[in-house]
Amino acid sequence: MDLDQQVGAPRAWTFAGREWLVSGLTPYQLGKLTAWLKDHVPNPLQEVKALIKDGVFTAEERKALIDEAKARAEPKYQTFGERTVQVSGWPPQFGSAEASAVLFNGSGIPAFLHVILSKHQPDLTPAEAEALAPLFTVEDLRALIDLIGVGGPDDEDEEDGDGDGPAADLPEGYVDPKA
């Protein structure tokens, strides 16, 4: 990650025929994305609670279902160089495959664009971000990731030339709306 990305210096990004100022995500913006994910990815424990409330399952089956839900909800971490990141669990963390599969499909793209763009264009409304979403392509995402350094665990190795830096590491599950 370059110094401009570390300090959040705004950079120009051309998208949808317009130049936008963008910069790395702040803790506040990451919190907004996490809140969105909490609202759109069911908590495994809540799902099981709803499933077992009618008493159809035996005590042993209920325990097995609860244990499985706890295991899915439990945060799991992986270390990449000097950085340790949550790679699974609930809520899914921005940059994880699970979060990306939800965030970069359907209603997640407008939410993501609104968070990213409204930082330096505070008058941008959620409705305007919704209108921009169908124009958001894989190429736009790659350019944005390269520019501001958002992405998954491979961010730190983009200099090594192995082709697996953030631009090559598009979020798993991302569906290009123009494809």
**Domain-wise residue ranges, the chain:** 1-41+91-179, 42-77
Query: Which contacts of 142-146 are long-range, i.e. CB under 8 A and separated by 24 or more positions?
Result: 142/167, 142/170, 143/13, 143/15, 144/13, 144/15, 144/22, 144/116, 145/170
Top pLDDT among 97 and 15 is at: 15
Mean pLDDT in residue range 129-158: 76
In this prediction, residue 150 has a pLDDT band, given cuts at 50, 70 and 90, of low
Q: Which residues pair with 85 in a beta bridge?
A: 78
CA distances to 5, 34, 56, 166 from 145, rounded to whole Å, are: 10, 18, 47, 6
Digit-coded pLDDT (tens) for 6-65: 777 899 999 999 999 999 888 899 889 999 999 998 888 888 998 888 878 888 998 999
Q: What is the pLDDT of residue 25?
A: 86
Mean pLDDT in residue range 66-77: 87
Helices (H), the chain: 3-7, 27-40, 44-52, 59-73, 97-103, 108-118, 126-132, 138-148
The pLDDT mean for the chain works out to: 80
Token pair 């979403």: residue: 133
Q: What is the pLDDT of residue 162?
A: 41
Residue 32: both structure tokens together: 């907004």
